[in-house]
């Protein structure tokens, strides 16, 4: 036998399909069929029904038979409510598809957008719920980054359940990117939002700034305010603009979901400022009397804030950029030239061009005459 033929023979003997399949099973890396992908896409769709903000991530789950039929589905409705897996198990019982001669999910596969949790918080561990229900296999899209809640996959495997992961992982990670980042960093995910003219100005030389952007852009801002936990501005913005920082409908009425309004800084403010008005469904207002950004973020995280939108002014916004605390940029750019000294951002600590913040555009969307630009730093 020639050396080349012998080499091929050894390779073939080493990578026999059954052994490779078993190795992939142990690693939790498996091929998935169209039924699995369809089920995961349904789970991702269900997850979107959950709240966009709060302590917990959006998660969806479905239960399927060996033929791929969906017989139970659910999603997480927010902190303190059933997790998606438990909701799917309850749906299985409610629609009469549960097994009545043993565990209710015997022989079924659970398809979940996030690794089943492994801890007891306001509800019990999902991994244990799936074990008790008798599922045969669990497929999840992406791992749980939480120090306390992760480990569900290992618990399931120890119970003899087949576990595979990575199906539509990119889509699932995008779904929970804010929560996952906040969980890993143990501070709120920070979105820096500002409006700007085409030449980077936020106001004219006399300080007038209403309105740089048009009504479509402003409506988008109000919609996004309902999807975050808190808005932050500095004391200078309160003194200069006296903003309410509420989320409103087109007709000016308050939306049902309102963010916490956060003021950063030690300056004493007029108690009659509009931001302190918490009546008629407006959000709670908190003043953090500090200039330490990291301390402020930790305080907000401990308050349950997972997504923070920094809205200015330029000094506060620039400090967040300087300290590398911005996870996402949300820029509303108007096709106007203003000139003058009032810029949207100030000193970023960039002494030469090699230190410039390199951004990557994630989304560019026309809003009337304006552009909404969503971007992240390239090294994020």
**Where in the sequence numbering do the catalytic residues fall?**
85
Nearest in space to 283 (alpha carbons), one of 240, 254, 253, 317: 254
Instruction: Tell me how far the alpha carbon of residue 346 is from its chain's centroid.
Output: 28
What angle do the packed helices 84-94 and 126-133 form, to 10 degrees? 30
What's the CA gap between 361 and 147, in Å, rounded?
Answer: 31
Contacts of 151 (CB under 8 A, 6+ apart): 118, 127, 144
Contacts of 333 (CB under 8 A, 6+ apart): 195, 196, 197, 198, 213, 370, 371, 372, 373
CA distances from 259 to 39, 76, 244, 289, 305 (A): 34, 21, 11, 19, 10
Edge-to-edge strand ranges of the sheet holding 307-312:
285-288, 260-264, 230-234, 307-312, 189-197, 328-334, 370-377, 359-367
Nearest in space to 301 (alpha carbons), one of 55, 50, 51: 55
What is the DSSP annotation of 9-24?
A: HHHHHHT-HHHHHHHH
Contact 221, 231 (CB under 8 A): no
What's the CA gap between 107 and 193, in Å, rounded?
Answer: 49
What's the CA gap between 372 and 166, in Å, rounded?
Answer: 32
Burial 291-300 (b: 16+ CB within 10 A, else e): eebeebbebb
H or E element at residue 329: strand 328-334
- In sign, the C-alpha dihedral spanning 303, 308, 312, 318 is positive
């Amino acid at each position: 036998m020639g050396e080349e033929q012998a080499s091929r023979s050894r390779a073939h003997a080493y990578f026999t399909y059954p052994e490779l399949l078993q190795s992939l099973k142990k690693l939790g890396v498996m091929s998935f069929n169209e039924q699995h992908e369809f089920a995961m896409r349904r789970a991702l769709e269900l997850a979107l029904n959950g709240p966009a903000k709060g302590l917990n991530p959006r998660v969806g789950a479905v239960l399927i038979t060996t033929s791929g039929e969906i017989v139970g589905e659910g999603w997480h409705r927010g902190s303190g409510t059933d997790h998606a897996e438990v909701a799917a198990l309850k749906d299985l019982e409610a629609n009469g598809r549960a097994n009545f001669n043993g565990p209710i999910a015997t022989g079924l596969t659970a398809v979940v957008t996030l690794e089943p949790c492994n801890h007891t918080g306001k509800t019990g561990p999902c991994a244990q719920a799936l074990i008790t229900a008798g599922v045969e296999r669990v497929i999840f899209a992406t791992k749980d980054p939480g120090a306390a809640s992760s480990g569900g996959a290992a618990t399931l495997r120890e119970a003899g359940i087949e576990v595979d992961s990575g199906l539509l992982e990119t889509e699932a990670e995008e779904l929970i990117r804010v929560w996952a980042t906040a969980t890993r960093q143990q501070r709120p995910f920070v979105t820096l939002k500002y409006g700007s003219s085409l030449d980077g100005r936020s106001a004219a030389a006399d300080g007038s700034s209403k309105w740089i952007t048009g009504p479509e852009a402003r409506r988008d801002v109000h919609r996004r305010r309902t999807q975050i936990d808190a808005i932050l501005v500095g004391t200078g913005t309160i003194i200069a603009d006296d903003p309410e920082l509420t989320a409103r409908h087109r007709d000016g009425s308050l939306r049902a979901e309102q963010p916490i309004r956060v003021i950063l800084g030690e300056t004493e403010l007029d108690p009659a400022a509009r931001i302190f008005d918490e009546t008629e469904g407006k959000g709670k207002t908190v003043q953090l009397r500090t200039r330490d950004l990291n301390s402020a973020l930790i305080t907000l995280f401990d308050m349950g804030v997972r997504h923070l939108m920094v809205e200015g002014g330029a000094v506060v916004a620039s400090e967040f950029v300087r300290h590398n605390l911005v996870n996402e940029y949300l820029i509303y750019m108007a096709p106007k030239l203003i000139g003058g000294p009032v810029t949207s951002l100030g000193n970023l600590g960039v002494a030469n061009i090699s230190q410039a913040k390199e951004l990557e555009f994630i989304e560019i969307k026309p809003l009337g005459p304006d552009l909404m630009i969503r971007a992240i730093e390239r090294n994020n």
